Amino acid sequence: MNFLFSSIGKKIQVAISGILLLIFLVFHLFNNLVLFAGHDSFNQMVGFLESIKPLIRIMEAGLLMIILIHTVNAIKLTYSNRTLQNGKYKKDNSEASSLNSRTMAISGTVILIFIFIHLGYIWLTYQTHNFYEGETYYDVLLRNEIGYLNHTPTAIFYIISIFLIGFHLRHGYHSSLKTLGFLESKAFPLYLIGFVFWGLIPAAFIAIVLSIQIGFIN
Ligand code: HEM
């Protein structure tokens, strides 16, 4: 048990929870790509998820736990790194690692704010069925109001946040490989596959937002 709370234990918790969040993001992307298949297909897909609500609730509780484990351990590690760097055992590479941990902390904070806003508008509207007359799940996403994706300032906020998610994933993915003991060689397939996660997935989310903005999804 003590191992979990040691520095390496916390790193392992951050790495594993980060990978689980990545898996959520892949599923979430596939759900949202159905927007390209049109109004009816998307509503059918959300309707199916609604029909298995108890299971979805359990998965959401798990997701919340994973986000908490990831955030709390990452904050603790950032804090203890900073304390170490201010102490007398300053290492040669401390400036680079402190810059890394600062940018991870800033991008992580923006992502948390993004998730709160995203859930506060879209997820909550879905859960409370706060729809206009005749409006469907698909139409909610495409509302031209603050918090929804036809609203240009909201879309810009989404694009910046998703870009930061990509940046956060890039560093997070590489350091998880190190923490979990995989070789960090640029030729190593796992290293290269990382591009799918930190490059293609954020790019696909951004493509959805842009497609709504230019009216390709309408
Ligand atoms: C184009 C971008 C996105 C769209 C259109 C979108 C759409 C949605 C929709 C419709 C929901 C509510 C229905 C559902 O529960 O599946 C939702 C929930 C959620 N979204 Fe997104 N999302 C986007 C990007 C993101 C990103 C980048 C993240 C993560 C950083 C994220 C995290 C979540 C979470 C945590 C939930 C609640 C969990 C759940 O109930 O599945 N979303 N999103």
At 158 the pLDDT is 98
- 3-state class (DSSP) for residue 89: coil
Give first-to-last CA distance, the chain, whole Å: 52
Ligand 1 close to Cβ of residue 162 (< 6 A):
yes
The set of residues, in sequence order, having a beta carbon less than 8 Å from that of 133 and lying 6+ positions away, is none
156 C-alpha to center of ligand 1: Å? 16
pLDDT in tens, 95-137: 566 677 788 999 999 999 999 999 999 999 999 999 999 999 9
At 86 the pLDDT is 66
For ligand 1, atom 5, name the residue with the nearest CA: 32
Ligand 1 close to Cβ of residue 32 (< 6 A):
yes
Q: Among residues 26, 39, 66, which one has the least CA distance to residue 205? A: 26
* pLDDT beneath 50, residues of the chain: none
At 184 the pLDDT is 59
At 142 the pLDDT is 97
Q: What gap in Å lies between CA 169 and CA 197, rounded to an integer?
A: 7
Sign of CA dihedral 126, 129, 132, 133: positive
In a mutational test of the pocket of ligand 1, which residue from 123, 167, 168 has the highest number of ligand atoms less than 8 Å from its CB?
123
28 C-alpha to center of ligand 1: Å? 6
Ligand 1 close to Cβ of residue 31 (< 6 A):
yes
At 110 the pLDDT is 95
Give the single-character DSSP code of 131. Answer: P
210 C-alpha to center of ligand 1: Å? 16
31 C-alpha to center of ligand 1: Å? 9
Ligand 1 close to Cβ of residue 66 (< 6 A):
no
At 94 the pLDDT is 57
Altogether, the residues listed in the chain come to a count of 218
Q: Is 145 exposed, middle or buried (0-12, 13-18, 19+ CB in 10 A)?
A: exposed
In a mutational test of the pocket of ligand 1, which residue from 22, 28, 43 has the highest number of ligand atoms less than 8 Å from its CB?
28
At 163 the pLDDT is 96
Residue type (1 letter), 62: G
Q: Give the CATH architecture of domain 2-213.
A: Up-down Bundle (1.20)
